[in-house]
Amino acid sequence: MAVVDVIIKLRDENIIAGIKWYNENLRKLFDVIWRRRVGQPISDVFSGFDPDSPEGSMIWEDNRFSYTTVGSKVSPTILMKLDLDKEYFLRAALDLVDEGIQIYDKNAYAVFINDISRRISEIPDNVQVEGKHLLDMYPLEEDVSTTLTSLKTQRPVVNRVDHYNTTDGAFVAAAYTAIPIRKYGEVIGTVVFEQNSDVVKNHIKRMQSIQKALDSYVDPNPRMAFTGYTFDNIIGNGAALSEAVSLAKRVSSQDCSVLIVGETGTGKELFAQAIHKESGRRDGKFLAINCSAVPENLIEGVLFGTVKGSFTGSEDRVGYMEEASGGTLFLDELNSMSLGMQSKILRAVQEKSIRRVGGSEDIPIDVRIISSCNEDPFKAIRENRLRRDLFYRLSTVIINLPPLRDHPEDIETLMRARIKNTNLRFVNKVDKISPEVLDYLKSYSWPGNVRELFHMVDYAMNVTDGDTIEMAHLPKHLTDRVKKPAEGSVSSEVEKAVGGSFAPDWSKETLQSAMDRYENEILRQALDYYGGNISQTARALDIKRQSLQYRLHKYGIIV
């Protein structure tokens, strides 16, 4: 065991007698609780320990340690090392660096040489170099070697040019920088950075591209800070979207309540802000609250404010309704609010006054309410999740926002707008979209709507190495999709639930395991369809949110 993290001393009967740490980070994590186990049998503390085996592995909670036993069987010493993939990660990371890196021990034996350095020196991939001496690998003079000079002088040697011929006769010239590695003040090796002319040219090209990208952020005429969306930020010319924009513009100047209905990601808050900006309240505040994101026991205080001493930890605090007075309050996903809270909202709107939690004073408010539902509000009313009287009070005008799948003709326009707005963040400037990509995306159902489309564009711009978004640059979950059977058929329902993979082998599978697998796939498909939205998925499956959360935990599904 090359490195020891901790040593455990045992006495007779394999009782823990003492603990000595060599890894400070692990000591901070485990020392206090491990010390309490001194005097107990090691097998009661760690699972997997075999007193008859000189080495093996044992587990503390979820942590696996490799161990080696030394000393007598009566009072052995256990040398332990936490098993991690750290070495693999470090090696993989060094292989990704775009210059040569070599690491040698204090005697100039190779510890590691990365892929770039192998290519510079023309070392074949199948040739093992670790453990070989520097002079056995390179035909160098000992007194002019950058590496050996650094080890001999125990000082850095910076940008020395070495040249030599490889065993195949190829001439190699490169700049080397060697820096000693110290442990407890003593030199234990050196790390060498290697650049030939190709590496330098690539560095210069990359640095110039990065500098150009950074320079493009310098604006000689800085724009004003963002103060909210307007109708100019709504992109698309589809008939349904144009109708929604036209209606929103007409009612902006009116002081009526507005209900915006649309799926998640269709731009409900964008419309709400645009209406506010076009209204007579534009100089007042625009405040938004996602009713599904605030816990039930907190939302009343957030909306109405609190009085100090009304409950433990409460302070005098202004609520959103009071703070937005003279402006606009946007109640996002109103249908997710409890019926009890809905009744309090109704009273505040009717009376045009609120009372802080724990307070006794009625405070007048003058606020325009814009609200939204991410489902059909009439369905929510029928299922007793939305109060009918509140709905009529807040829906003087209803604006329906179409899902993206209903106006696919706007996909290209939306993509180009997103590319234009985010291009400055990337070194590679994207200005083209392949026709194949556009055709494919227009056939996709877009459960996450415009928000999902923008996330897809961001992903593609991160992974592309050219100026065109191709099929290879789309997320895997998009390109893996297949055509479904005819809607309404039995096979269609199975396909929807299990993606065509439900084919039990009854010789190996029980009824319960088959049902669990079927349920697992149904949940994954439903979550995918509703863009990972827990509330919408639970409603669609007609189960409680808590029940869905339980099943997600049961099957290890991460949203």
CATH superfamily of 6-84: PAS domain (3.30.450.20)
CA-to-CA distance for 50 and 505, rounded, in angstroms?
39
Which letter, b or e, does each residue of 539-553 get, where b requires 16 or more Cβ atoms within 10 Å of its Cβ?
bebeeeeeebeebbe
Q: What's the pLDDT band for 222 if we cut at 50, 70, 90?
A: very low
* For the chain, domain boundaries: 6-84, 98-200, 231-400, 404-479, 490-555
Mean per-residue pLDDT over the chain, rounded: 84
Would you say residue 169 has pLDDT above 80?
A: no
Domains 6-84 and 98-200 share a fold: yes
pLDDT over 70 percentage in the chain:
89
Q: What is the pLDDT of residue 382?
A: 92
Q: pLDDT per residue over 225-259, tens digit each? A: 445 789 999 999 889 899 999 999 999 999 999 99
CA-to-CA distance for 530 and 263, rounded, in angstroms?
9
Q: What is the pLDDT of residue 328?
A: 94
Mean pLDDT within 197-210: 85
**Better pLDDT: 171 or 166:** 171
Of these ranges, 136-145, 209-218, 505-514, the one predicted with the greatest mean pLDDT is 136-145
Query: For every residue of 29-66, which 3-state class applies, written as one string?
Result: HHHHHHHCCCCCEHHHHCECCCCCCCEEEEEECCEEEE
Contact call for residues 490 and 498 (beta carbons, < 8 A): no
Q: What's the pLDDT band for 284 if we cut at 50, 70, 90?
A: very high
Contacts of residue 336, defined as CB under 8 A and 6 or more positions apart, other chains included, come to: 291, 292, 535
Q: What is the pLDDT of residue 308?
A: 85
Q: 231-400 adopts what CATH topology?
A: Rossmann fold (3.40.50)
**Better pLDDT: 480 or 107:** 107
Would you say residue 558 has pLDDT above 50?
A: yes
Q: pLDDT per residue over 414-467, tens digit each? A: 999 998 888 776 666 788 999 999 999 998 888 889 999 999 998 888 888 788
Domain 98-200 of CATH type 3.30.450.20: yes
Q: What's the pLDDT band for 86 if we cut at 50, 70, 90?
A: low
CATH class in words for 404-479: mainly alpha
Q: pLDDT per residue over 519-554, tens digit each? A: 888 888 888 777 778 888 888 888 887 788 878 877
**Better pLDDT: 28 or 384:** 384
Mean pLDDT within 343-361: 92
**Better pLDDT: 398 or 226:** 398
The least confident of 59-68, 134-143, 350-359 is 134-143
Q: What's the pLDDT band for 411 if we cut at 50, 70, 90?
A: very high
Mean pLDDT within 24-43: 86
Q: What is the pLDDT of residue 224?
A: 41
Of these ranges, 34-43, 362-371, 500-509, the one predicted with the greatest mean pLDDT is 362-371
What 3-state DSSP class applies to 188? strand
